[in-house]
Chain A
Amino acid sequence: MSRINIELPGLDLKNPIMPASGCFGFGREYAQLYDLSKLGAIMIKATTLETRRGNPTPRVAETSAGMLNAIGLQNPGIEKVMGEELKFLEGYDVPIIANVAGTEVADYVEVAERISKAPNVKALELNISCPNVKCGGIQFGTDPQTAKELTQAVKAVSSVPVYVKLSPNVTSIVDIAKAVEEGGADGITMINTLVGMRLDERTGKPVIANGTGGLSGPAVKPVAIRMVYEVYKAVNIPIIGMGGVTCAQDVIDFMSAGASAVAVGTANFVDHFVCPTIIDELPAKLDALGVEHISEIIGRSHR
């Protein structure tokens, strides 16, 4: 019997570990390094209706224990994602969580309706929190009513459960979480990146061409843990936690705060084998805690 499997709406996870959207492409590159079937799930790169070219370079900048990025949702559009990328991923025994983005409600709805019919897409992750695009993205994730309405619209057309990815760049993430729960969300994924900026030492101007970028990496973990902790108390739908996860202990921390599963983002760029490594380390962590099954630690901070 597995000690680390997790059941969530739409998702039968072999383990609670999945690469976060935007940090893993559509899996092809990491498939050269290890068997993707080992992963609990894969959150694919944000998919939009049309091809998106993304932002000018430089798109990334390193910061203390973290990095800024402003890729700008570059992706080949839903047709190619479904026809090529999801087809490729069908070769692996791993559920796909499709990150859906758009510039208006109609885009989100069309992408969600179509991509949710792909055989290996077991859940959607509604991206209402990308800080790096001018239209859409974060504007849907900063007002509770707007977030709720978009969630309702997508829920109405999706063939699979809908998780909503929350932005930390808000006054009260709990209000947004409650709103998407009311809108019918099956789960929450959190957190997206924190808006930041790094200046060039010589010119005093922003390093990233977009000016601002999203901060990720170990530096954001305390913020993410706090937010998962608060949202867990406020909603009754499951949370997939993320933000600065680099090791098995970080996974234990997120699950203790209330996450049912955990996504790994920036760490995939630092240690390209970090996901399988964490998965292998989890049983020993459970032994050390005297826990038989990993689900026992979900929300233990609150007990």
Chain B
Amino acid sequence: MIRQEKMTVVAQVQIATNIFELTLQGQLVQDMTPGQFVHVKVSDTFEPLLRRPISIANVDKEKNEFTMIYRAEGRGTQFLATNREGQIVDVLGPLGNGFPVDAAQPGQTALLVGGGIGVPPLQELSKQLNARGVKTIHVLGFQSEDVCFYEEQFSALGDTYYATVDGSKGTKGFVTTVFDDVKPQFDLFYSCGPMPMLRALEQYYPEKEGYLSFEERMGCGIGACFACVCDTTDKHEKDYVKVCSDGPVFPKGVVAL
């Protein structure tokens, strides 16, 4: 169920250059699944006006807390980064359809591929897959070492490989460079990151089952405004999908890349 809630800031920590981890507490945590997102009102004024869609990184239903990780790049996220413990943040969520954890059977191996600020939702996904008895391999791509995060968390859950554009951490290059080097053996993949990465992944493993999480500029976040539509491939019954409400996670082959 979608709720609009005034959530309380539990912690705000800078975890890498311009990358923040915000922990919020409130009831809407109870309905969250990995890969879903929240729509955050960053200011009480009209500046900035619109909500910001941010993916859910970690869910703790016992404590009623979740974390989101975001890059403080634009006006809205820079404003969000000023929130401190005890302050209130207006959150709409959880929104969209997350990763199908059930698609992986116990005993199988899942490849989790993340790029940049697409990495956070894979953490909760990896936790839930491991809890289900699914082995996870993580391949994470970043621009450079100073914007990498969650190394310990991912390493604790499974083999973790890095690619950075400048070679400052892990393999120099892209996640596909890691695929060539490591030749990971797996049954299905899950991914979140920039469009070129998702496209490369589909092309690399055409025979594998896979689930991709997309990003698009959003207005309402619930499917009413038609800002975030994507064309679909010929195989799909609909001409278009809305990233916010039909996605953001789609089985591979649905969205035209």
Binary per-residue interface labels of chain B (211-251) against chain A in the complex, 1 for a CB within 8 Å, 0 otherwise:
00000111111111111111000000001100001000000
Which one, A22, A29, A71, contacts B222 given CB within 8 A? A29
Kindly specify which of B15-23, B41-49, B201-209 makes contact with the partner chain. B41-49
A268:B224 contact, CB within 8 angstroms: yes
Bound Cα distance A271, B92 (Å): 9
Q: Let me know if A58 is at the binding interface, CB within 8 A.
A: yes
A269:B46 contact, CB within 8 angstroms: no
Q: Which residues of B contact A217 (CB under 8 A)?
A: 46, 49
A53:B225 contact, CB within 8 angstroms: no
Q: Let me know if B2 is at the binding interface, CB within 8 A.
A: yes
Q: Which residues of A contact B229 (CB under 8 A)?
A: 54, 57, 59, 74
Q: Which residues of A contact B47 (CB under 8 A)?
A: 64-65
B228:A268 contact, CB within 8 angstroms: no
Q: Which residues of A contact B2 (CB under 8 A)?
A: 32-33
Q: Which residues of B contact A273 (CB under 8 A)?
A: 4
Q: Let me know if A272 is at the binding interface, CB within 8 A.
A: yes
B239:A59 contact, CB within 8 angstroms: no
Binary per-residue interface labels of chain B (35-61) against chain A in the complex, 1 for a CB within 8 Å, 0 otherwise:
000000100001111110000000000
Q: Name which residue of chain A comes closest to B222, CB basis.
A: A29
Q: Let me know if A25 is at the binding interface, CB within 8 A.
A: yes
Q: Let me know if A88 is at the binding interface, CB within 8 A.
A: no
Q: Which residues of A contact B228 (CB under 8 A)?
A: 57, 59
B49:A24 contact, CB within 8 angstroms: no
B46:A58 contact, CB within 8 angstroms: no
Q: Let me know if A288 is at the binding interface, CB within 8 A.
A: no
Q: Name which residue of chain A comes closest to B92, CB basis.
A: A272
Bound Cα distance A62, B217 (Å): 10
Bound Cα distance A218, B49 (Å): 9
B239:A30 contact, CB within 8 angstroms: no
Bound Cα distance A278, B170 (Å): 54
Q: Let me know if A129 is at the binding interface, CB within 8 A.
A: no
Residue among A23, A45, A62 facing the most chain B CB atoms (10 A cut-off): A62
Q: Let me know if A60 is at the binding interface, CB within 8 A.
A: yes
* Those of A1-44 within 8 Å (CB) of chain B: 22-25, 28-30, 32-33
B217:A59 contact, CB within 8 angstroms: yes
Q: Let me know if A240 is at the binding interface, CB within 8 A.
A: no
Q: Which residues of A contact B220 (CB under 8 A)?
A: 23, 29, 268-269, 272
Which one, A24, A59, A64, contacts B227 given CB within 8 A? A59
Q: Which residues of A contact B49 (CB under 8 A)?
A: 62, 65-67, 217-218, 266, 270
Which one, B1, B76, B221, B227, contacts A57 given CB within 8 A? B227
Least distance between A114 CB and chain B CB atoms (Å): 22
Main secondary structure of the interface of B (DSSP, over half): loop
Bound Cα distance A65, B43 (Å): 11
A60:B223 contact, CB within 8 angstroms: no
Q: Let me know if A69 is at the binding interface, CB within 8 A.
A: yes
* Those of A219-277 within 8 Å (CB) of chain B: 219, 246, 266, 268-273
Q: Name which residue of chain B comes closest to A75, CB basis.
A: B226
Which one, A25, A57, A74, contacts B217 given CB within 8 A? A57
B51:A71 contact, CB within 8 angstroms: no
Bound Cα distance A191, B51 (Å): 24
Q: Name which residue of chain A comes closest to B245, CB basis.
A: A29
Q: Which residues of B contact A51 (CB under 8 A)?
A: 239
Least distance between B75 CB and chain A CB atoms (Å): 8
Q: Name which residue of chain A comes closest to B75, CB basis.
A: A62
A69:B224 contact, CB within 8 angstroms: no
Q: Name which residue of chain A comes closest to B50, CB basis.
A: A62
A272:B222 contact, CB within 8 angstroms: yes
Q: Name which residue of chain A comes closest to B231, CB basis.
A: A53
A272:B240 contact, CB within 8 angstroms: no
Q: Which residues of B contact A272 (CB under 8 A)?
A: 4, 92, 220, 222
B4:A269 contact, CB within 8 angstroms: no
Q: Which residues of A contact B226 (CB under 8 A)?
A: 25, 45, 54, 59, 71, 74
Bound Cα distance A169, B252 (Å): 43
Residue among B1, B4, B216, B217 facing the most chain A CB atoms (10 A cut-off): B217
Could you name 30 residue pairs across A and B whose Cβ atoms are closer than 8 Å? A23-B224, A25-B224, A25-B225, A29-B222, A30-B222, A33-B2, A51-B239, A57-B217, A57-B227, A59-B228, A60-B217, A60-B218, A60-B219, A60-B225, A60-B227, A61-B217, A62-B50, A65-B49, A66-B49, A67-B49, A67-B219, A69-B225, A71-B225, A71-B226, A74-B226, A74-B229, A218-B46, A269-B221, A270-B50, A272-B220
Question: CB within 8 Å of A: which residues of B?
Answer: 1-2, 4, 41, 46-51, 76, 92, 216-230, 239-240, 245
Question: CB within 8 Å of B: which residues of A?
Answer: 22-25, 28-30, 32-33, 45, 51, 53-54, 57-62, 64-67, 69, 71, 74, 217-219, 246, 266, 268-273
Additional 4 contacts, C-beta under 8 A, given A29-B245, A62-B48, A268-B220: A61-B217, A66-B46, A69-B225, A74-B229
